[in-house]
Chains A and B, each alone.
Chain A
Amino acid sequence: MATLTVPNATATARPRVLRSRAAGKLLLLALLTAVLLPFLGRWGNGAWPHALTVDLTKPLTTASDWIIDNRDSHPLFLYFFGYVSDAVVLSVRAVYLTLLAAGWPGVTVFAALVAWRVAGVRLAAGTAVAFLACGVLGMWVPTMQTLALMVVAVLVSVVVGALLGLAGGLSERLDRALRPVLDTMQVLPAFAYLLPVVLVFGIGVPAAVLATVVYAAPPMARLTALGLRGADPEVLEAVESLGATRRQRLLTARIPLARKELLLGLNQTIMMALSMAVIASVIGAGGLGDRVYQALASVDVGAALAAGIPIVLLAVVLDRVTAAAGSGAEAADQRPRAIGWLYALAATVAVALAARLLTALDWPSGATVNIAEPVNRAVDWMTSHLYSGVPVIGGTADWAGHFTTWVLDPVRDGLQWLPWWSVLLVVAALAWLIGTWRTALTAVLAMAAIGVLGVWEPSLDTLSQVLAAVAVTLVLGFATGVAAARSDRVERVLRPVLDVFQTMPQFVYLIPVVALFGVGRAPAVAAAVVYALPAVVRITAQGLRQVDPAALESARSLGATGRQQLWQVQLPLARRSLLLAVNQGVVLVLAVVIIGGLVGGGALGYNAVFGLAQGDLATGLVAGAAIVCLGLMLDRVTQPTERRTRKGA
């Protein structure tokens, strides 16, 4: 298609088009295609040609078999991975036993005291209520399992991330080497990290912890480096002018000055660790995620919800408390110190001992509420009444069916019908128009790699779901974002909703969509839309609000209407934010569409889950690699030029 339109355009408006850079790029691409087409066409014009694929199944299976055979004998495993694995298991076990020894009264009191210390009374009460709710829902033990895994994973992530960040913050060269790696790691779907870890460690707690560490450490590293680099140069100069040694400068100035970024890094690391600890149930993490996973597998929405609510509560509490620690860093000093750390610890021990004496360590079995059954009854009622046949509006299952038939299927079939080289061409054109030739090259190579891996068809299936979800997300997100930017009231209403939605782990979104739409591709898309929407709304609203007020004022003084202001001033000036919103939307949607494989989304996500579930690591690894490539491609295609140039500077 591109080959047809471009010559046309040049014929009608030649001088002008030639002056435009965009058209120049397209023309060059068209030319390239025209030259290469006879050669490329040799391999056919349909899906990715078979001649160009490399079958990795066999070598991967061999490798995986070799690892399984040698896991107990090869020195590499005995003396390195073995120790790592043992250390992880031991520490998770230790934390878990400590939590159990403290009992529910001890843990609740300790959590509340910590929240009080760093974030004030209100959050302390919220924390206590959240923990008690976990007990009431009958989820105390799984909550503690998840918590134990998270504590270990977060500690390791923070140490690893802080060390990497320190290196990046102090050395220019290391920073330049690390940054693209960390940036890329941040856009990859969580699922992609599971398979390589499983390959080495097998399914179980060590793999889950390490996958979590790999997923959660990058934000800590990035923010540490950012904080160290962002220190006010005049303060550092003043410190140097007083004769500080390098070590003194680091300890007394650079690290304290980066406190805000460090705490933000801690916050993000904790949130990502929770998200991953839940997803890692697929590879044997146990705990809450496992309950959700099992329940979803048997479409038992009630049980899934009972395990999902504690996840959400945990997420909200952890986020609020750590965020308060970060933002309250300056304000905290005026507040009288509510309680010292030692007192908090002592109180915990006292409560735990008292509980032990009263033999009340385990959550009393009488004090649980079984919500699974009523929820399932409600879902059954919904299934019978709302799924289909509701007059005029139809039912939710009807919507899902229509969406699949009228949107997902055509997009998928269309993508799969396209000649393989034209997909590459479109990718190149988009990436080059929005970014630089470098991003375009990466995107094309990533897309081609998918073909070479032999998963062209399922990848395009996943891509079709991503495109549909992104389209819906952007329409809804931009509209809501514009509304929030233009009306303070809308923003006030939206803010708490967005806050909660942004803290929830991806996995949790699957529960309500399964309740509403059943299983299939449409629910996966719906979950992805819900997951990505808050970020898009927020970035859009922020971008519009940050438009230079002087520009808006001058437009108003010239008599522009509200609509004119929006279209002619705000939207063009917020272009960067809008592109960023698209980029974020795409990345987030992909993450959930992949997880959607658990609820019948099929395609790459299913391959990965299948590989894990059946021990067919070759299939899973290929799917994982394809997910990585897809993530890279989508990120690069939507990456605005400015981001790249800013990084270079």
Chain B
Amino acid sequence: MTLNVPNVPTRKPPTDAPVFSVDGLWKVFGPKSERVPADPELAALPAAELRTRTGCTAAVRDVSFDVRKGEVFVVMGLSGSGKSTLVRCLTRLIEPTAGTIAIDGEDVRAMDRARLRELRRHRAAMVFQHFGLLPHRTVLDNVAYGLEIQGVSRAERRERAAEVVAKVGLDGMEKRRPAQLSGGQRQRVGLARALAVDPEVLLFDEPFSALDPLIRRDMQEEVARLHSEEGRTMVFITHDLTEALKLGDRIALMRDGEVVQLGTPEEIVGSPADDYVREFVRDIPREQVMTARRAMRPAHAGESGHGPAVRPDATVAEAIEAVARAGAPARVMDEGKCLGVVDSDRLLGVVAGVDEAAVDPEPQEAANAPRREQVTETAPVSTTPEAV
């Protein structure tokens, strides 16, 4: 670092370089909070004991992760798990207690006020749970607010805001005030306001929890659509596991300020890291999350030539449909190559969750012995390399 003193962003990050890189992040609320992360003994204390000993509450404990360019990174946890604090630490809306945060390799915690403002203005924009709209401004002026703060001229910011308003489907409502909009429309304004400044990263803090279920689904689809169109990096905070699974490329599951598990939706559902996560994902319809890649077995001779074809990242539900329609095992095809075959037994095994044994390193022979035999019989080779 010392060699790069003329701090020009000389190194152009490769596409898989992290946008946000968080390492050992702590946020402790309370008196003399800095001593908690510094002292390994205090740092190891459980929450209740920490509070009685020091009067401090650790909202975020030693959290590390990278957000890759172009992905939707979901932080998921119940209320009080520290996820909202975490996302606010990323742009220092809440000042972190310890650890490092880097955006494109630049240390966020070392930024001075002007640089930090620059970061907030141009590089990371946030969407809030209760929208945070200015009630005295019209939709258009709310959307243009971020540009106004930057000092963009009135005509230009209105023009750009009008484009974004159209993009989120609010045409014709430019002149209304937030109070005249429904919850879903308000959040579209919030989203448009964040998009208008064309940020590198979008941060979402439980953006849809205050909405009705149907509207929520609409908005989730809207976000998915925006992501597929623009490929913008997103950090998405939610307490709703279904939402996390639906939107997330990767999910960090938080509990009491710590990340319990970090992985793809399939990994979280397929291989829960501990009982807490297992309890969490118990009611998730596995066929919607698990992919054909995970369910497939090597093709027997002659199978690779015919039968319905599914993509390896198709969900098990889709594969079931294909198999049921054809009445025969389906081929898992990737760029014209047959990777393997899914048949009804394998698919049922995934849905029932009994394939876990194949990838689960935990020895649970005693309990699952009879079923495991069955599984191993039909699945001689582990076919889920990524999950390990």
- A69 on the B face (CB < 8 A): no
The answer to whether A237 and B93 touch across the interface, beta carbons within 8 angstroms, is yes
- Provide the residues of chain A in CB contact with B197, threshold 8 Å: 242
- A245 on the B face (CB < 8 A): yes
Q: Which residue of A lies closest to B196 (CB)?
A: A242
Smallest beta-carbon distance B178→chain A, Å: 10
Docked Cα-Cα span, A333 to B134, in Å, equals 15
- Provide the residues of chain B in CB contact with A330, threshold 8 Å: 135, 177, 179
- B129 on the A face (CB < 8 A): yes
- Provide the residues of chain A in CB contact with B129, threshold 8 Å: 234
- A553 on the B face (CB < 8 A): no
* Residues of chain B from 116 to 130 with CB closer than 8 A to chain A in the complex: 116-122, 125-126, 128-130
Query: CB-defined interface of A323-342 with B at 8 Å, one 1/0 digit per residue?
Result: 00000011001000000000
- A572 on the B face (CB < 8 A): no
- A257 on the B face (CB < 8 A): yes
Smallest beta-carbon distance B134→chain A, Å: 6
* Residues of chain B from 87 to 132 with CB closer than 8 A to chain A in the complex: 88, 91, 93, 116-122, 125-126, 128-132
Q: Which residue of A lies closest to B122 (CB)?
A: A243
- Provide the residues of chain A in CB contact with B132, threshold 8 Å: 232, 234-235, 237-239
The answer to whether B146 and A242 touch across the interface, beta carbons within 8 angstroms, is yes
Docked Cα-Cα span, A242 to B137, in Å, equals 16
Known A241-B125, A248-B149, A333-B177; contact A235-B133, beta-carbon cutoff 8 A: yes
The answer to whether A256 and B149 touch across the interface, beta carbons within 8 angstroms, is no
Query: CB-defined interface of B15-30 with A at 8 Å, one 1/0 digit per residue?
Result: 0000000000000000
- A546 on the B face (CB < 8 A): no
Give the most central of B128, B134, B190: most A CB within 10 Å: B134
- A259 on the B face (CB < 8 A): yes
- B148 on the A face (CB < 8 A): yes
Q: Which residue of A lies closest to B117 (CB)?
A: A243
Contact of A240 among B118, B119, B120, B134 (CB under 8 A): B120
Query: CB-defined interface of A225-264 with B at 8 Å, one 1/0 digit per residue?
Result: 0000000101101111111110010001100110100000
Docked Cα-Cα span, A329 to B177, in Å, equals 12
The answer to whether B134 and A242 touch across the interface, beta carbons within 8 angstroms, is no
Docked Cα-Cα span, A244 to B134, in Å, equals 14
Docked Cα-Cα span, A257 to B116, in Å, equals 25
Query: CB-defined interface of A98-132 with B at 8 Å, one 1/0 digit per residue?
Result: 00000000000000000000000000000000000
Docked Cα-Cα span, A624 to B235, in Å, equals 65
Smallest beta-carbon distance B155→chain A, Å: 18
Docked Cα-Cα span, A234 to B121, in Å, equals 17
The answer to whether A242 and B133 touch across the interface, beta carbons within 8 angstroms, is no
- Provide the residues of chain A in CB contact with B122, threshold 8 Å: 243
The answer to whether B145 and A241 touch across the interface, beta carbons within 8 angstroms, is no
The answer to whether A259 and B125 touch across the interface, beta carbons within 8 angstroms, is no
Contact of A242 among B116, B130, B149 (CB under 8 A): B149
Docked Cα-Cα span, A238 to B126, in Å, equals 7
- Provide the residues of chain B in CB contact with A252, threshold 8 Å: 134, 145, 148-149
Contact of B149 among A237, A244, A257 (CB under 8 A): A244
The answer to whether B120 and A242 touch across the interface, beta carbons within 8 angstroms, is yes
- B374 on the A face (CB < 8 A): no
Please tell me the number of chain B residues within 8 Å of chain A, measured between CB atoms: 33
Known A240-B93, A241-B91; contact A256-B136, beta-carbon cutoff 8 A: yes
- B150 on the A face (CB < 8 A): yes
- Provide the residues of chain A in CB contact with B193, threshold 8 Å: 238, 242
Give the most central of A235, A238, A240, A245: most B CB within 10 Å: A238
The answer to whether B136 and A257 touch across the interface, beta carbons within 8 angstroms, is yes
Known A234-B130, A330-B179, A333-B177; contact A257-B135, beta-carbon cutoff 8 A: yes
Docked Cα-Cα span, A239 to B148, in Å, equals 11
The answer to whether B149 and A238 touch across the interface, beta carbons within 8 angstroms, is no
Docked Cα-Cα span, A238 to B148, in Å, equals 14
Q: Which residue of A lies closest to B127 (CB)?
A: A238
The answer to whether B149 and A243 touch across the interface, beta carbons within 8 angstroms, is yes
The answer to whether A245 and B177 touch across the interface, beta carbons within 8 angstroms, is no
Smallest beta-carbon distance A263→chain B, Å: 12
- Provide the residues of chain B in CB contact with A238, threshold 8 Å: 126, 128, 131-133, 190, 193
Docked Cα-Cα span, A66 to B177, in Å, equals 62
Docked Cα-Cα span, A330 to B190, in Å, equals 20
Smallest beta-carbon distance B47→chain A, Å: 24
- Provide the residues of chain B in CB contact with A232, threshold 8 Å: 130, 132
* Residues of chain B from 291 to 334 with CB closer than 8 A to chain A in the complex: none
Smallest beta-carbon distance A160→chain B, Å: 25
Known A235-B133, A237-B93, A238-B132; contact A243-B120, beta-carbon cutoff 8 A: yes
The answer to whether B128 and A242 touch across the interface, beta carbons within 8 angstroms, is no
Q: Which residue of B lies closest to A240 (CB)?
A: B93
Docked Cα-Cα span, A245 to B126, in Å, equals 17
Smallest beta-carbon distance B164→chain A, Å: 14
- Provide the residues of chain B in CB contact with A242, threshold 8 Å: 120-121, 125, 145-146, 149, 193, 197
Contact of A245 among B117, B131, B203 (CB under 8 A): B117
Q: Which residue of A lies closest to B121 (CB)?
A: A243
- Provide the residues of chain B in CB contact with A253, threshold 8 Å: 134
Smallest beta-carbon distance B223→chain A, Å: 18
Docked Cα-Cα span, A234 to B136, in Å, equals 15
- Provide the residues of chain A in CB contact with B133, threshold 8 Å: 235, 238
Q: Which residue of B lies closest to A259 (CB)?
A: B136
- Provide the residues of chain A in CB contact with B137, threshold 8 Å: 256
- Provide the residues of chain B in CB contact with A259, threshold 8 Å: 136
Docked Cα-Cα span, A232 to B203, in Å, equals 20
Smallest beta-carbon distance A432→chain B, Å: 32
Q: Which residue of A lies closest to B151 (CB)?
A: A248
Give the most central of B119, B120, B122, B135: most A CB within 10 Å: B135
Query: CB-defined interface of A245-288 with B at 8 Å, one 1/0 digit per residue?
Result: 10010001100110100000000000000000000000000000
- Provide the residues of chain A in CB contact with B203, threshold 8 Å: 241
Docked Cα-Cα span, A238 to B117, in Å, equals 13
Docked Cα-Cα span, A372 to B130, in Å, equals 61
The answer to whether A241 and B149 touch across the interface, beta carbons within 8 angstroms, is no
Smallest beta-carbon distance B90→chain A, Å: 10
Docked Cα-Cα span, A237 to B91, in Å, equals 11
Q: Which residue of B lies closest to A248 (CB)?
A: B149
- Provide the residues of chain B in CB contact with A239, threshold 8 Å: 132, 134, 145, 149
Query: CB-defined interface of B181-214 with A at 8 Å, one 1/0 digit per residue?
Result: 0000000001001000100000100000000000
Smallest beta-carbon distance B196→chain A, Å: 10
The answer to whether A256 and B134 touch across the interface, beta carbons within 8 angstroms, is yes
- Provide the residues of chain A in CB contact with B179, threshold 8 Å: 330
Docked Cα-Cα span, A234 to B134, in Å, equals 10
Q: Which residue of B lies closest to A245 (CB)?
A: B117
Smallest beta-carbon distance B272→chain A, Å: 34
Docked Cα-Cα span, A253 to B149, in Å, equals 11
- Provide the residues of chain B in CB contact with A333, threshold 8 Å: 177
- Listed A/B pairs (7) with beta-carbon separation below 8 Å: A235-B134, A238-B126, A241-B93, A243-B118, A245-B149, A329-B136, A330-B135
List 5 A-B pairs, minimum CB-CB distance, nearest first. Answer: A238-B132, A243-B121, A243-B120, A241-B126, A242-B146
Given contacts A234-B132, A241-B203, A242-B197, 14 further A-B contacts (CB under 8 A): A237-B88, A237-B93, A237-B128, A237-B132, A238-B131, A238-B190, A240-B120, A241-B128, A245-B149, A252-B134, A256-B134, A256-B137, A257-B136, A329-B136
